[in-house]
Amino acid sequence: MPQDFIIGIDLGTTNSLAAFMQDGVPVVIPGEDGVNLVPSVVALDEKNQTIIGNAARKYLIDTPERAVYSIKRLMGRGVEDITEELKLFPFRIADDLEAGEVIRIKLGDRTFTPPEISAFILRQLKRNAERYFGAPVTKAVITVPAYFNDAQRQATKDAGRIAGLDVLRLVNEPTAASLAYGLDKKQSGTIAVYDFGGGTFDVSILKLHDGIFEVIATNGDTHLGGDDIDNLLIAIAIADIRGDLGRDVSHSGEDVARIRKAVIEAKIALSSEPSTRFEVELSGGQHYRREITRQQFEDLIAPVIQRTLVPCKQALKDAGLKPAQIDEVVLVGGSTRIPKVRELVEDLFQRKPHSELNPDEVVALGAAVQANILSGGSEATRDMLLLDVTPLSLGIEVAGGVTDKIILRNSTIPASATQHYTTQVDGQANVAIHVLQGERELAKDCRSLARFDLKGIPPMSAGMPRIELRFLIDANGILNVSAREQRSGKEAEIQVQPSYGLSDEQVEGMILDSFDHAEDDFRERQLIEARAEADTILAALDKARMSPAWGQLTSKEISAIAAAEANVKDSKQRDDYKAIHEKIEALNQATMRLAELMMDSAVTTALKGKSMNDEELGEGPTAPHAISKAEFTD
Amino acid sequence: MTITHDNSLLTVLGDPARDACWSCGDQLASHFCTHCGKVQPPKPVDYFTFFGLPQRLQIDPAKLERAFYELSRKLHPDVYAQATPQEREWSLEQSSRLNDAYRTLKDPIKRTEYALGLAGIELEEQSKSATEAARASGGMKKQIVPPDLLEEVFELNMQLEELRMNKKMGEDDPALLEEVKQKQSDLESKQDALSVELQQIWKDWDQAQEATSEAAIGCANAKMLDLLNRRNYIRNLLRDVNELLEA
């Protein structure tokens, strides 16, 4: 049986990457171009082929209407709560969007939901991993910002499904980072993870104890990251250009994309240089140049990075700890490369933060560690267990539009709560329930997760039914609800449809869609599977040569097998998966009698009363026929 | 799968009526089988029983934490990621129950409330009917002011109101601020004193449980209920003061 590869994926706002535990160490799986990071950019070329990653970046400038970046900002969100995003990011929302529908983004003349766009990135990572292993990859652990709500988590899980991945677990990014850091140390103590990425900020405080990573408190802002710093710089450039050149480029997608590229380069340069120049060639050939010093940069970004302190202080308060009680601080995310950010963290926690692991890779490495734990563990991960929390309180709306909190934030997950409901009028058959997430007192200020009706309550007089609702947040931080009318014992499972989510049918449709439009994907996958199958049968044949049964074959049979074997080896070198399957089948035919002979000898051995040890048992039936027949799916 | 037998709680876990393991039939099954290690279907037991503890309020936090970690290692869904759907479901149920139980038992106040709840006693604050009545009338839920605090509370509320007005008008009254801060620290000491008092009542309660003396249990319950109501009242006051001082 081929090894089941479970990969760890960091699906980031700016960059995404996959990692895997190899010989006790998590390693990043490189992309096609040999680069570890896959920029989270998706473009459609003229032939409507999807282009992902580095190759897609040039489309951001050449054909901005066919490319999209930072899609993570839109995951699990409704059209009405992204107005801020739309001012700052060139997202082109579909024109025919209806109220309550999941957002769709235009790429050329087609539209995609955020989970579908994320799925393109995931599929690229999956392909990279399959190339790396030479075997199919179907299972993954995907990381999400700790402060992601239920809808954002569900959207990420949907993206995984659309990409053909069974998402075994969603892991919070700062927690994943702590796993990567804690792997070699296994120490005890309290650590804080400060995770300042491209689009999100998270802080988590954990207690480490003999391999148990227990999150005590987490907090964050899912709309605070390096993007916000870039936008400040872009705004200055646009104002400059308006002043100096008398041009308003704010509506030119191409110019904004060029400016964005230049400010990101300047931002990176300023982490090591005292000052830098940035220069942009605008459409039409005009040039915009500007010198910026680190001091100016730091003054400019101060309000943005100061915002990270609020969640830090809240997390400390929730954990009941003073900054000095934190033993170690770990830096995660590209934005922690900014010296001013490091200074801020050092000031707050009064100690030098750790940044030994690459802040762009550490989350994916941690996801690989968690993937290893889920696959049954290894020497390196023995005794490691992650106990995470829910970042936001879960509540239900009660009379007067007030939120009644039933599971408080920072509760260890899985967590559950039970509520009882009854009816207001005689014979009432339905009860409407509104589930919310957030810390605010009023329902309208919290995030609406779902509204649903409890249906089919047996007719009884008002107040008689006793309906028990059980809310359960699973280890992914996703809510499940079940209901039961206790007097009749009638159980009604409720599917909680997130207020801003895709239905199961929609996701299924997208999975099919993605196959329609990804014929190449399918071929590649088939090819990998066929080659893996060929390897298995060739290995079995090598083993069979050592068995006594081999000596009973005629020379004609041996040469037929050799020919069929050569054909399999030859077809493996080519890209036609159907041909590989045909040659495997031919080899199966050629070795039919060999398999029978081996079976016979196994039986004979058993009849002779000789004890068969495990190895002998293994030898017999591992004739080539033990492999299941190839399945053709098209 | 092998189970290492240590001198831990694992060996004493499980309720007295131990059932047989669904998987291997061993008689030592509780949350998981002590013989084959498999998770077992959840059973409706109280939080103390879940942890294999007697119903006592004096709990050693370090011991409880150790038991929590040990049970987590056995029941957490990560351990069953590749198991059958049925085992995954049980593991999810069992570990959510474990987390709920730990959250309740590790917190002295929640633990006390829980013990009262098992006896069918509800705190004022948790009384649903009171909450709903208050919401329906649009007012705040009425709280019964502990008589000995009446005067103090009255004065503090006046001061808080004044402080709010000052803030609104942008005025500064250092003397008033100082007085409120003094009250804040008074309330904090009162809260601490109540915690000490609570531990004393726990002792009585535990002894009453040991002796299965209904009268003594009832007496301790009444004392705890009174103490928790007072404590909640002080906590809410402190919250108002803190909010105003921090703002």
Length of chain B: 247
CA angle B218, B100, A363 (to 5 degrees): 155
Quote the tokens at residue B34: 């002590």
State how far the alpha carbon of B35 is from the alpha carbons of A150, B24, B240, in Å: 38, 8, 54
Q: Which of A212, A376, A417 sits opposite B82 (nearest CB)?
A: A376
Quote the tokens at residue A131: 């190339």
Q: Which of B73, B93, B103 sits opposite A411 (nearest CB)?
A: B103
Cβ-Cβ pairs closer than 8 A, A with B, add up to 65
Nearest to A292 by CA among A371, A355, A237: A237
Please list every residue in chain B whose beta carbon sits closer than 8 Å to the beta carbon of residue A402: 135
State how far the alpha carbon of B231 is from the alpha carbons of B183, B223, B228, B235, in Å: 16, 12, 5, 6
Q: Which of B82, B97, B99 sits opposite A375 (nearest CB)?
A: B82
Please list every residue in chain A whose beta carbon sits closer than 8 Å to the beta carbon of residue B77: 414, 474-475
Question: Cβ of A272: how many Cβ atoms within 10 Å?
Answer: 10
Helix (H, G, I), strand (E, B) or coil at A370: helix
- pLDDT, tens digit (0-9, with 9 covering 90-100), for A169-194: 999 999 999 999 887 666 789 999 99
- Percent of chain B predicted with pLDDT > 70: 77
Q: Is A189 within 8 Å of chain B by CB?
A: no
Decide: A329 and A194 in contact? Cβ < 8 Å.
Answer: yes
Mutate to test the interface with A, among B6, B31, B76, B78 (most CBs of A within 10 A): B78
Contact A414 B96 (CB under 8 A): yes
Chain A CA closest to residue B95: A414
pLDDT at residue A79 tops 50:
yes
Taking the alpha carbons of A27, A28, A33, A35 in that order, is the dihedral positive or negative?
A: negative
Decide: A75 and A47 in contact? Cβ < 8 Å.
Answer: no
Please list every residue in chain A whose beta carbon sits closer than 8 Å to the beta carbon of residue B100: 415-417
Mean pLDDT for all residues in chain B: 79
Q: CA-CA distance, A358 to A371, in Å (whole number)?
A: 20
Helix (H, G, I), strand (E, B) or coil at B212: coil
Decide: B184 and B238 in contact? Cβ < 8 Å.
Answer: yes
Mean pLDDT (whole number) for A481-486: 77
Q: CA-CA distance, A18 to A364, in Å (whole number)?
A: 6
Contact B100 A415 (CB under 8 A): yes
Contact B96 A415 (CB under 8 A): yes
Quote the tokens at residue A376: 């049954």
Q: What is the pTM of this model?
A: 0.79
What integer pLDDT is reported at residue A383 of this predicted model? 87
pLDDT at residue B96 tops 90:
yes
pLDDT at residue B211 tops 70:
yes
- pLDDT, tens digit (0-9, with 9 covering 90-100), for A364-423: 999 999 999 999 888 888 889 999 999 999 988 887 788 888 999 999 999 999 888 777
Whether this model's ipTM surpasses 0.95 comes out as no
Q: Is A188 within 8 Å of chain B by CB?
A: no
Question: Cβ of A361: how many Cβ atoms within 10 Å?
Answer: 21
SS3 for A401-449 is CEEEEEECCCCECCEEEEEEECCCCCCCCCEEEEEEECCCCEHHHCEEE
Q: CA-CA distance, A163 to A117, in Å (whole number)?
A: 10
Mutate to test the interface with A, among B47, B74, B95, B96 (most CBs of A within 10 A): B96
Contact A474 B138 (CB under 8 A): no
Mean pLDDT (whole number) for A563-571: 92
CA-only gyration radius of chain B, Å: 24
How many CA within 13 A on the CB side of residue A45? 9
What integer pLDDT is reported at residue B8 of this predicted model? 30
- pLDDT, tens digit (0-9, with 9 covering 90-100), for A19-74: 999 988 999 999 877 889 999 999 998 888 899 999 898 898 888 899 999 999 99
- pLDDT, tens digit (0-9, with 9 covering 90-100), for A243-302: 888 888 888 888 888 999 999 999 999 999 999 998 888 888 888 888 999 999 999 999
Q: CA-CA distance, A433 to A454, in Å (whole number)?
A: 8
What long-range pairs does A291-294 form, CB within 8 A, spacing at least 24? A292/A233, A292/A266, A294/A270, A294/A339
State how far the alpha carbon of A600 is from the alpha carbons of A190, A486, A540, A622, B45, in Å: 63, 61, 17, 13, 56
Contact B69 A210 (CB under 8 A): yes
Question: Cβ of B54: how many Cβ atoms within 10 Å?
Answer: 10
Contact A412 B92 (CB under 8 A): no
pLDDT band at A161 (very low <50, low <70, confident <90, very high): very high
Element at A239 (helix H, strand E) = helix A226-245
Decide: A80 and A100 in contact? Cβ < 8 Å.
Answer: no
- pLDDT, tens digit (0-9, with 9 covering 90-100), for A511-562: 766 655 555 556 776 777 788 888 888 888 888 888 888 888 898 999 999 9
Q: What is the DSSP string of A85-118?
A: HHHHS---B-TTPPTTSPP-EEETTEEE-HHHHH
Mean pLDDT (whole number) for A348-354: 92
What integer pLDDT is reported at residue A42 of this predicted model? 95
Question: Cβ of B179: how many Cβ atoms within 10 Å?
Answer: 16
Please list every residue in chain A whose beta carbon sits closer than 8 Å to the beta carbon of residue B81: 168-169, 374-375
Q: CA-CA distance, A192 to A238, in Å (whole number)?
A: 38
What integer pLDDT is reported at residue A438 of this predicted model? 87
Mutate to test the interface with B, among A190, A207, A314, A374 (most CBs of B within 10 A): A374
Mean pLDDT (whole number) for A493-506: 65
Chain B CA closest to residue A382: B73
Contact B78 A373 (CB under 8 A): yes
Q: CA-CA distance, A251 to A264, in Å (whole number)?
A: 19
Q: CA-CA distance, A46 to A61, in Å (whole number)?
A: 15
Decide: A594 and A560 in contact? Cβ < 8 Å.
Answer: no
Mutate to test the interface with B, among A1, A212, A318 (most CBs of B within 10 A): A212
State how far the alpha carbon of A221 is from the alpha carbons of A177, A529, B240, in Å: 18, 42, 26
Decide: A147 and A85 in contact? Cβ < 8 Å.
Answer: no
Please list every residue in chain A whose beta carbon sits closer than 8 Å to the beta carbon of residue B97: 416
Decide: A5 and A20 in contact? Cβ < 8 Å.
Answer: yes
Q: Which of B81, B93, B99 sits opposite A374 (nearest CB)?
A: B81
Please list every residue in chain B whose beta carbon sits closer than 8 Å to the beta carbon of residue A210: 69
Which residues of B sit within 8 Å Cβ distance of A? Answer: 69, 72-73, 76-79, 81-82, 92-93, 95-97, 99-100, 102-103, 132, 135-136, 138
Nearest-CA distance from B157 to chain A in Å? 22
Q: Is A310 within 8 Å of chain B by CB?
A: no
What integer pLDDT is reported at residue B237 of this predicted model? 85
Please list every residue in chain B whose beta carbon sits closer than 8 Å to the beta carbon of residue A400: 135-136, 138
Nearest to A75 by CA among A152, A147, A143: A152
Strand partners, A415: A473
Q: Which residue carries 């050569």 as its tokens?
A: A566
Contact A416 B100 (CB under 8 A): yes
Q: What is the DSSP string of A186-214?
A: ---EEEEEEEE-SS-EEEEEEEEETTEEE
Q: Is A210 within 8 Å of chain B by CB?
A: yes
* Lowest mean per-residue pLDDT among A219-228, A236-245, B38-47: B38-47
Helix (H, G, I), strand (E, B) or coil at A579: helix
Decide: A400 and B138 in contact? Cβ < 8 Å.
Answer: yes
Q: Which of B78, B103, B132 sits opposite A475 (nearest CB)?
A: B78
pLDDT at residue B53 tops 60:
yes
Mean pLDDT (whole number) for A77-91: 82
Catalytic positions of A are 10, 72, 173, 195
Please list every residue in chain B whose beta carbon sits closer than 8 Å to the beta carbon of residue A386: 78
Quote the tokens at residue A522: 């399918």
- Domain B2-106 sits in CATH 3.40.50.2300: no
Nearest to A119 by CA among A136, A97, A142: A142
Task: Please give the residue that has the higher pLDDT: either B209 or B180.
Answer: B209
Task: Please give the residue that has the higher pLDDT: either A398 or B75.
Answer: B75
Chain A, residues 388-407, CB within 8 A of chain B, namely 398-400, 402
